[in-house]
């Protein structure tokens, strides 16, 4: 990951008026395509863990109407597995290979996708589809702005990351408090923070390309990690929007 740390350093000092060429467009298209395929895989796995009884019953406990009433030990392990994998990756993926970065991406996507089956057991299919459409529309607009704006978002990104840390702490605290009002506030902040991160990460990827444009291997690794960052932003925005748009079964 040293190359990516250097890229972020270059971002902070680089000029924002970077020439947009065919290479940059191809790189960003590769990131978006990989992210899109990750979302498709997540949808398939979420369907399997929510609709196929033999798979569903490994992770979730449902009532006669197929509504979620509990989580099995395997389900709890699945719930926290992506967080553990991301934490391990911070140390194990410092100098990843092209194949290693790609496998890491698909592993995280698979774990998250399987865990999303719980949402299909809680919310109606119509509200899930509506929220996904709203999320996709917001993502497209925010990412386009991050790609085209001439404003340097580095300072904005630092503020968002600090906000994300605070959000995580608030979510952990609310596990014990179980406050509906606090959950409402957390959801609102989550929407704002991940909306901002979509724009910030899109611009960051442009700077990473400018730093690594002559290194095909580094660009391939950056494609996987870039797709992962945008995928995580999308999924988190989707889940927080469900708090406002989702109708429960």
Transcribe 52-106 into DSSP letters.
Answer: -HHHHHHHEEE-TTS-EEEE-HHHHHHHHHHHHHHHHHHHHTSS--HHHHHHHHH
Can you give the pLDDT at residue 222? 94
Asked if the model's pLDDT at residue 110 lies above 80, the reply is yes
Confidence label for 79 from pLDDT (cuts 50, 70 and 90)? very high
Model confidence, pTM: 0.89
Q: pLDDT digits over 33-76, tens only?
A: 999 999 999 999 999 999 999 999 999 999 988 889 999 999 99
Tokens 């000092």 belong to residue: 13
Which residues 6+ apart lie within 8 Å of 122 measured at CB? 67, 68, 246, 248, 249
Can you give the pLDDT at residue 220? 93
pLDDT > 70 in the chain, percent? 92
Name the maximum alpha-carbon separation found in the chain.
60
- 3-state percent helix, strand, coil for the chain, nearest multiple of 5: 80, 5, 15
Confidence label for 20 from pLDDT (cuts 50, 70 and 90)? low
Q: pLDDT digits over 127-186, tens only?
A: 999 999 999 999 999 999 999 999 999 888 889 999 999 999 999 999 898 899 999 999
């Amino acid at each position: 990951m040293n190359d990516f740390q250097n890229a972020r350093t270059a971002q902070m000092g680089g000029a924002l008026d970077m020439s947009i060429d065919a290479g940059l467009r191809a790189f960003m298209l590769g990131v978006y395509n990989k992210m899109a395929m990750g979302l498709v895989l997540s949808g398939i796995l979420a369907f399997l863990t929510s609709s196929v009884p033999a798979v569903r019953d490994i992770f979730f406990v449902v009532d006669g109407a197929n509504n979620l009433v509990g989580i099995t030990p395997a389900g709890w392990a699945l719930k926290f597995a992506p967080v553990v994998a991301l934490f391990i990756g911070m140390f194990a993926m410092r100098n990843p290979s092209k194949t290693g970065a790609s496998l890491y991406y698909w592993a995280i996507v698979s774990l998250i996708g399987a865990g999303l089956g719980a949402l299909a057991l809680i919310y109606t299919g119509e509200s899930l589809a509506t929220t996904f459409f709203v999320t996709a529309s917001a993502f497209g607009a925010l990412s386009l702005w991050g790609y085209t704006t001439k404003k340097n978002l580095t300072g904005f990104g630092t503020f968002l990351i600090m906000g994300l840390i605070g959000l995580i702490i608030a979510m952990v605290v609310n596990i014990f408090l179980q406050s509906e009002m606090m959950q409402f506030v957390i959801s609102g902040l989550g929407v704002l923070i991940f909306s901002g991160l979509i724009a910030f990460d899109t611009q960051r990827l442009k700077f990473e390309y400018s730093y690594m444009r002559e290194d095909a291997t580094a660009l391939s690794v950056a494609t996987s990690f870039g797709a992962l960052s945008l995928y995580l932003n999308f999924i988190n925005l989707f889940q927080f929007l469900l708090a406002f748009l989702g109708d429960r079964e």
